[in-house]
Amino acid sequence: MRKQFIVISYDITNNKRRTKVAKTLEDYGKRVQYSVFECLLLPAELAKLKKLLRPQVRESQDTIRYYSIGAEDVPRIRVMGFGKITEEKPFFIQ
């Protein structure tokens, strides 16, 4: 199964919950702006992440958005200013 490129943005009104969301996302992706993360996730990892974040969202006040970007579209992402697009880190098995 292939990893998906997911952009996750959030707007959480409570400082404590917002910090918890950010710390959780740091385990799954790279922060590219204050409340935006780029993640490369397997479907099971995304499902687990959503389950972890769900308790932090108050429906009438907060939002977390998940944008799935197809592999064919990732090369078309452009950045103005500094920063790189999140890439799969190579690893070697010996």
The residue whose two tokens read 């200013």 is: 81
pLDDT above 60 for 94: no
Is position 81 within any domain?
no
Is position 50 within any domain?
yes
pLDDT tens, 77-92? 888 887 777 776 544 4
Q: What is the CATH number of the domain that holds 60?
A: 3.30.70.240
Is position 88 within any domain?
no
The number of domains in the chain is 1
Terminal Cα-to-Cα distance of the chain (whole angstroms):
22
Per-residue pLDDT, 72: 83
More confident residue, 68 or 87: 68
Per-residue pLDDT, 91: 42
Q: How many C-beta atoms lie closer than 10 Å to residue 55's C-beta? A: 9
Per-residue pLDDT, 12: 96
pLDDT tens, 9-53? 999 999 999 999 999 999 999 999 999 999 999 999 999 999 999
More confident residue, 60 or 91: 60
More confident residue, 73 or 17: 17
Is position 89 within any domain?
no
